[in-house]
Amino acid sequence: MTLAEILASLFPGGHEVANDNGVVTGYGTLRAGGQALIVGVSDRKALGVDEAIHLSSFVLGALRNRSGPILVIVDSDSQRMSKRDELLGLNEFLAHLAKCLIYADMHDRPTIGILYGHSAAGAFLATALATRVLVGLPGASPAVMDLPSMSKVTKLSVEILEEKAKSTPVFAPGLENLAQTGAVHRTWNETDSLAAQLEALLGELPDALDVRDVLGKERKGRMKAAEIAERVHALALAP
């Protein structure tokens, strides 16, 4: 689906969304009433310092005088790997954007990521994965790290990683693998009304800000994460 098709299906009652060279901001009228804030990245835009601070500012500005959920719609490249962005501290800008979304979610503005295209690395972490739940649309192609990059970090050959990816989803990019690890909460059906699917999701959002580890265990994609998180939490609270 294109961004225009997604917005039309999400907001049959209308929307006001601007796409400024791949940076998406605006509002849409929910089917049940009220408005949703819309931010995101489109057209496989690389997420750099300028884009991150613009999206962060839009989110923080909306917290002062609006209500309703925040939808983060994503079709991006990875973070922008330029000398300028790196010297300006791109990692801090990406972290700031992620923290703005998490802060909003903690203050009664539930955040939902909608991944309809590509996304990878820092851009993926700071947008789609910084939301309470992430929805994938058919055809989406997420990757926390592609296998050639993973090969450089782990010093394992791409062939070995490809073999491991067949049985261990954490090694593998793609929508199905990330759903199995719990990173993708649900995959929507693009032939049905996205407005109806959004309304249903809003009615059953998990109370916890992050249940990805629990989903990963249930789906047998990440068997240890939830247990380790529970142990760390217990140790942190221990006298």
pLDDT digits over 27-84, tens only?
999 988 899 999 999 999 999 999 999 999 999 999 987 789 999 999 999 999 899 9
Confidence check: pLDDT of 171 > 80? no
Give the pLDDT confidence score for residue 209 in this predicted structure.
73
Which segment of 103-112, 114-123, 130-139, 207-216 scores lowest on mean pLDDT?
207-216
Q: Evaluate if residue 239 carries a pLDDT over 90.
A: no
Please give the pLDDT value at position 64. Answer: 84
- Give the pLDDT score at 14: 94
Is domain 3-144+183-205 annotated with CATH 3.40.50.720? no
Predicted confidence band at 164 (pLDDT cuts at 50, 70, 90)? Answer: confident
What pLDDT, on a 0 to 100 scale, did the predictor assign at position 166? 80
Mean pLDDT taken over the chain: 91
Alpha carbon distances (Å) from 172 to 19, 215, 224: 31, 17, 17
Mean pLDDT, residues 194-220 taken together:
89
Percent of the chain with pLDDT strictly greater than 90: 63
Q: Which of 26, 40, 41, 33 is nearest to 12 (CA)?
A: 33
pLDDT at 18: 94
CB distance 119 to 75 below 8 Å = yes
Mean pLDDT value of segment 163-178: 82
> pTM of the predicted model, to two decimals?
0.89
Q: What share of the chain is helix, strand, coil (3-state, %, to 5)?
A: 45, 20, 30
